Amino acid sequence: KVKIDYGDKNRRREGGAQYVNLALEQLDNDFVFVPSAHIRFVFGVNNALYAPTYLELHEQQQREPLPYKPMLRPRNKGKGKRVQRHDDELEREMAWVRQKLDDEEAKRAEAVEEEERMQAEGGIECGCCFSEYPFVSGLPEAVSLCCPEAHLFCTSCMLTYAETKLGAHDARIVCMDQSGCKLAFPESELRRFLTPKLLELYERVKQRKEIEAAGIEGLEECPFCEYKVVIENEQERLFRCENEACGAVTCRKCKKPVIVGYDHFNQQPPYTQKADPKKCALWDTAGVEGRHSDEVTAAAKKALEEFKRAHPEMDEKDLHVDLPPPPPVAGPARGAPYVHVPPMGLPHAPPQPQAGLQEIRRAHAHAHAHMIARHRAQWDVLQDIPAPPLMQPPVFNVQVHINHNQPHAGPAYPPGAAAAAAAMLAAHPAAPVARPRTRRSARNRARR
């Protein structure tokens, strides 16, 4: 169940329709010497909520001078019977306010009792804040012990000091006495006053420092948790965290998570001026020979350093050895002849074999010749068919001055058929076209 802080004036009001009127009536009864106008002003400032208004008015009563002019006589609560009204939200706020006031009163009483006991029995002084703390059952209350000098510190100071040290990833919590004692607190003392969360952090930081002090070669750590593993393969670029709570896959070089896609890598092609050196390389420009050359150079440097440590009297000039030059870096090809790339094997375009290309071309030429011969045979057959007579009126082509009714040689009329069609048109001329008559009115006929 979520615990509600009714003292927060920014929370949402959950009361009913009578909440505001009932809350103001209750505040008038709780603070009978405070003017009603001031109560309503504070009630509006606190978002019309009962609990924060009550706490603010209660705190104002402790001030000097008062922020309002108190009434000379208490407010009259009224007499007679009234309709009983009730709001559940207001009842919960009133119960919360009573509990809060009771807790504060109990703390004040405990502080007064502790002060009286300190004056009667004495106590132990903290070596950091120099406050005194009383004894309880023969043991100092809220005090931790520092070995073996027996320097005492209060729990409040020790918790603040431990949080600072562990926050800086330092598990060595030593004595902070003004005398200069730097002895470390025993683990039993730390477990006595550290909270479970701080104790867990202490264990993790301590384990991490011990692993780092071991100096294990090839040990790497996940950038998002404290999982560590030894990676022997130097060519491996990814770090795979096996911690179930993390499981991140990161780049060993930049320590960033690997993302699906190529945004993590430098996508600019090699030998360009726009390459981003902060990103991982997408292409291996050095090649196998380049990596071998780097390995030879590193091995020579390591051997030279070992020989210098064994023979410091030797001069560096005498130890100089010329290494084989590294292979030239492959650059973009310039002036290279064009190489024909055959089409890829697509489903709709099967690849053509280069070996039988000449045979395919000869077959294509033979098919083309066969198609031409077939068209010529059809043309010869059409020459023997006479053309039908043309009965439509003559149409004159202005551009080429050809009478379309006078057949001429062409694809539709071969030379023989054109002559026969012309003779037929001469024997059967076209009939004249009658002109349509128009109706004239009586007035037009009279004028004529």
Residue ranges of domains in the chain, CATH in brackets: 19-77+85-116 (no CATH), 124-214 (3.30.40.10), 216-285 (no CATH)
Cβ atoms of 155 and 129 within 8 Å: the answer is: no
Lowest mean pLDDT among 11-25, 43-57, 288-302, 425-439: 425-439
The secondary structure of 245-298 as a DSSP string is: TT--EEETTT--B--SSSTTEE-SPTT-TT--TTSEESS--SHHHHHHHHHHHH
Q: What is the mean pLDDT of residues 25-38?
A: 92
Q: Which is higher by pLDDT, 280 or 109? A: 109
* The pLDDT value given to residue 177: 79
Lowest mean pLDDT among 30-44, 51-65, 351-365: 351-365
Q: What is the mean pLDDT of residues 101-123?
A: 78
Of the ranges 111-125, 227-241, 280-294, 329-343, the best mean pLDDT one:
227-241
The residue type found at 283 is W
* The pLDDT value given to residue 53: 92
| Residue 48 Rama label (left phi>0; alpha psi -120 to 50; beta) | left
Q: Model confidence at 141, in pLDDT bands (50, 70, 90)?
A: very low
Q: What is the mean pLDDT of residues 365-390?
A: 73
* The pLDDT value given to residue 129: 80
Q: Model confidence at 418, in pLDDT bands (50, 70, 90)?
A: low
The residue type found at 277 is P
Of 7, 72, 73, 84, the C-alpha closest to 46 is 7
Q: What is the mean pLDDT of residues 413-435?
A: 52
Q: Model confidence at 95, in pLDDT bands (50, 70, 90)?
A: very high
The residue type found at 340 is H
* The pLDDT value given to residue 397: 45
Q: Whole-angstrom Cα distance, residue 167 to residue 362? A: 85
Give yes or no for residue 61 having a pLDDT over 60.
yes
* The pLDDT value given to residue 96: 92
Q: Model confidence at 323, in pLDDT bands (50, 70, 90)?
A: confident
Longest Cα separation, the chain: 156
Give yes or no for residue 140 having a pLDDT over 50.
no
Which pLDDT tens digit goes with each residue over 184-221?
888 888 888 888 888 888 888 888 888 778 777 778 88
* The pLDDT value given to residue 314: 77
The number of CA neighbours under 13 Å toward the Cβ of 151 is 20
Q: Which tokens hold the place of 27?
A: 């505040």
Give yes or no for residue 146 having a pLDDT over 50.
yes
Q: Model confidence at 344, in pLDDT bands (50, 70, 90)?
A: low
Give yes or no for residue 347 having a pLDDT over 60.
no
Q: Which residues pair with 303 in a beta bridge?
A: none
Give yes or no for residue 363 having a pLDDT over 60.
yes
Give yes or no for residue 248 having a pLDDT over 50.
yes
According to DSSP, the β-strands at 280-281 and 265-266 are parallel
Dihedral, 135, 136, 139, 141 alpha carbons, nearest 10: -70
* The pLDDT value given to residue 138: 45
Q: Whole-angstrom Cα distance, residue 215 to residue 228? A: 13
Give yes or no for residue 155 having a pLDDT over 70.
yes
Lowest mean pLDDT among 4-13, 190-199, 384-393, 409-418: 409-418
Q: Model pTM? A: 0.35
Q: Model confidence at 99, in pLDDT bands (50, 70, 90)?
A: very high
Q: Model confidence at 272, in pLDDT bands (50, 70, 90)?
A: low
Q: What percent of the chain has pLDDT over 90?
A: 11
Q: What is the mean pLDDT of residues 91-100?
A: 92
Average pLDDT, the chain: 74
Give yes or no for residue 268 having a pLDDT over 90.
no
Q: How many CB atoms lie within 10 A of CB 296?
A: 13
Cβ atoms of 220 and 239 within 8 Å: the answer is: yes
Query: DSSP state, 404?
Result: T
Q: What percent of the chain has pLDDT over 70?
A: 67
Lowest mean pLDDT among 27-36, 196-205, 237-246, 310-319: 310-319
**9: Cβ contacts below 8 Å, ≥ 6 apart:** 45, 46, 47, 49, 52
Lowest mean pLDDT among 64-78, 106-120, 384-398: 384-398
Q: Model confidence at 43, in pLDDT bands (50, 70, 90)?
A: very high
